[in-house]
Structure 1
């Protein structure tokens, strides 16, 4: 199974309470206006709230299962919301939508799924081509904490997820990570442990690699691909970026 398709199985459970970023994306959608483009839109966590607020939005994702889950959610929306949404299966580094946008979003660490400079350039070239003059791009990425211990099993949830994947099951999502400092890649191993109703245990594992960036480096990548940095935040409350910030949120204008 493709790693992104596997993530799609539990993505909504993993992120269902994560809404802290939505007001910021809505704010910039208000400033820029429709249409909006979201790359790596996943299961519609951000795409749907924007459409519900009246914005025309196109979502691109490489995972068929992610898009299937998004389509299931869209069917439950009112007709006017459904009409504002367009979904496209495709890669962030090679897409042609034959349409221009006022705002593009590559958020929730999605840009970090691209591991090489060539992929960064291909992606941003596509985005640049799809933005209207003075259109804006927002990229959000985690700020690397290289002091975090490697190989230590972690669980970010207080208790197991009930009734997943089947009624009566209890599932824990665990992970550990290692750093490749030369390539600036963090290699994360996810472990899904499910205790079945009959007492059996099922374990599934998969790896995910993410490229980590440093602030000046991420700025340079955007500037070298035809963007002008307008704002640089360290959190969703728009506080100024510092060395202790958890995030890097860059708002850039197409030149």
Structure 2
């Protein structure tokens, strides 16, 4: 459920912001247009927001700038420390996509950036079933996350990373659970959501999933 990656998150916390700003050539394409990607999520969020994987607080800051109320969830203690340095107005609690202290107020939007792919497809389905019950009747999910358009594109990206010598990135691509778009569409539909996809860079898509009542 993503918890197996916590040691990597803790190590990455100290230089995550440098990576997303393009200072790491290996991950530059993954985080291309990073600020615009977060803004796209924040623009589609509404009402009371539950954010999974707050990381160092970059999306949280955008959501707060839009005047939204945010309940943050993050499994990495080191990431939570970094977020607290940036944002003193909210608490970020220890939790993950499947296990977290329940919010005390109704949730209108569930958001996440660069994190949902840490769940297996089975875990993604369990999470979406939970979110369908948690969200208000007009609720929605807004994720910016890494996925492959199809199996041919998946192989092309593997070959691209290998040719570039981006072996750390290639390992991430092969060990994390980046889904195919069609598979992710079916998981959302199975659990009561109507998803829409828009590609934002070579790796990242904006996913807006409206709750079916």
Q: Which has the higher helix share?
A: 2
Tell me by how many angstroms 1:86 deviates.
3.5
Q: CA 1:116 to 1:136, structure 2 compared with 1: closer, same or farther past 3 Å?
A: closer
Correspondence for 1:103? 109
- 2:9 equivalent among 4, 27, 31: 4
Correspondence for 1:232? 197
- 1:39 equivalent among 52, 62, 65: 52
Gaps of 5+ in 2: 1-5, 23-33, 149-153
2:68 aligned counterpart, secondary structure: coil
Q: Which of 1 and 2 has greater Rg?
A: 1
TM-score (norm 1): 0.65
Cα distance between partner residues in 2 of 1:27 and 1:44: 16
- Contact map agreement 1:64 1:89 (CA 8 A) in 2: yes
Tell me by how many angstroms 1:14 deviates.
1.1
Q: Say how many residue pairs are matched.
A: 188
Q: Which has the higher strand share?
A: 1
TM-score (norm 2): 0.77
The two structures, once aligned, show a CA RMSD in angstroms of 2.4
Q: CA 1:247 to 1:15, structure 2 compared with 1: closer, same or farther past 3 Å?
A: closer
Correspondence for 2:126? 122
Cα deviations by residue, 1:47-84 (Å, 9 ceiling, x for unpaired): 01211331111111110110111111114xxxxxx1xx
Cα distance between partner residues in 1 of 2:178 and 2:129: 20
Q: CA 1:141 to 1:26, structure 2 compared with 1: closer, same or farther past 3 Å?
A: closer
